[in-house]
Amino acid sequence: MPTPLQGRRGLAVLVVGLVTLVVGLATETSPTSVGTATSTATATATDPALPHQAWPYPTPAPARWTALALGDSVATGAGCDCAPYPDRYASLVTARTGVPTTLVNRARDGLTSVALRDSVENDPDLAVELGKSDIVTVTVGANDLGPDVDRWRDGSCGDCFTESALKVGRDVSAVLDRVTALRAGRATEVLVTTYWNVFQDGRASDDADDLAFRAMSRQVTGQVNDALCGAARAHGAACIKLDSAFQQAVGSDPTDLLADDADHPSPSGHSVIAAALAEHGWDELGRG
């Protein structure tokens, strides 16, 4: 007959044996449970086990951009045997963003705002070019004011300058409507420039000593520039103020930035315009 001590020893051995059995079973089944849980987990883009799914995904750099210049003789380089501002600006875009930029210059000497409007609305070749252009520059409106000068001189102008300036704004607004439609929601940078003066300016101007003409030209230039900037802002485009750029560069006398005809930019003037455009940056295209 076992003693009480022997009974207790037997019970202890039995308990130790049961614990060992349970631990062993748990150890044997544990890998199977973990493996099942891993195999049924849903992978996500942020899962560190999936390095090829890095987040955020990098934005691929564009292969190249196309810049389209629209406008009058300021953009063609008339009066200056030099590269006009659209060429200089395209070079700055390439240099500062690292994106090769091809220029298409569709500016024309003597172009008015209504003529530009007609072109963008009815020229199928221009429509194709607009649809492909990542950057569009617009300089137009000064030629619309030419016929009003004679009326001003003979005293019959009345509100003719104001009416012409407002019409420039409407025409440019229609041009920008067309640009928006042809680009169809794609990232586009549109830059509308103002003028330093819609008439001749500087010491070589035919009216340099005519104080009344100079006062009128400043007032009318302001009206046209306001109309241009208003159209630009209404369409989310940038208004590049060349009057401010010229003043910052040389002060109140723009002679050094003008060609001998006192009407168009000199090489230095074209450089100032290109720099003013580039100063805007390229946020619209994701490049700051």
What letter would DSSP give residue 54?
-
**pLDDT of amino acid 179:** 98
Question: Residue 47 pLDDT more than 50?
Answer: no
**pLDDT of amino acid 62:** 62
Can you tell me the distance from the alpha carbon of 2 to that of 6, in angstroms, rounded to the nearest whole number? 6
Mean pLDDT of 27-31: 42
How many alpha carbons fall within 13 Å on the CB side of residue 114? Answer: 7
CATH architecture of 65-285: 3-Layer(aba) Sandwich (3.40)
**pLDDT of amino acid 61:** 55
57-103: per-residue pLDDT in tens?
445 556 899 999 999 999 999 999 999 999 999 999 999 999 999 99
Mean pLDDT of 22-42: 37
118-177: per-residue pLDDT in tens?
999 999 999 999 999 999 999 999 999 999 999 999 999 999 999 999 999 999 999 999
**pLDDT of amino acid 143:** 98
Can you tell me the distance from the alpha carbon of 72 to that of 78, in angstroms, rounded to the nearest whole number? 9
Can you tell me the distance from the alpha carbon of 135 to that of 97, in angstroms, rounded to the nearest whole number? 13
Question: Residue 105 pLDDT more than 80?
Answer: yes
Higher pLDDT, 282 or 36: 282
Question: Residue 114 pLDDT more than 90?
Answer: yes
Label residue 22 by pLDDT band (50, 70, 90).
very low
**pLDDT of amino acid 60:** 56
Whether the CB-CB separation of 204 and 254 falls below 8 Å is answered with: no
Whether the CB-CB separation of 173 and 234 falls below 8 Å is answered with: yes
By three-state DSSP, how is residue 249 classified? Answer: helix
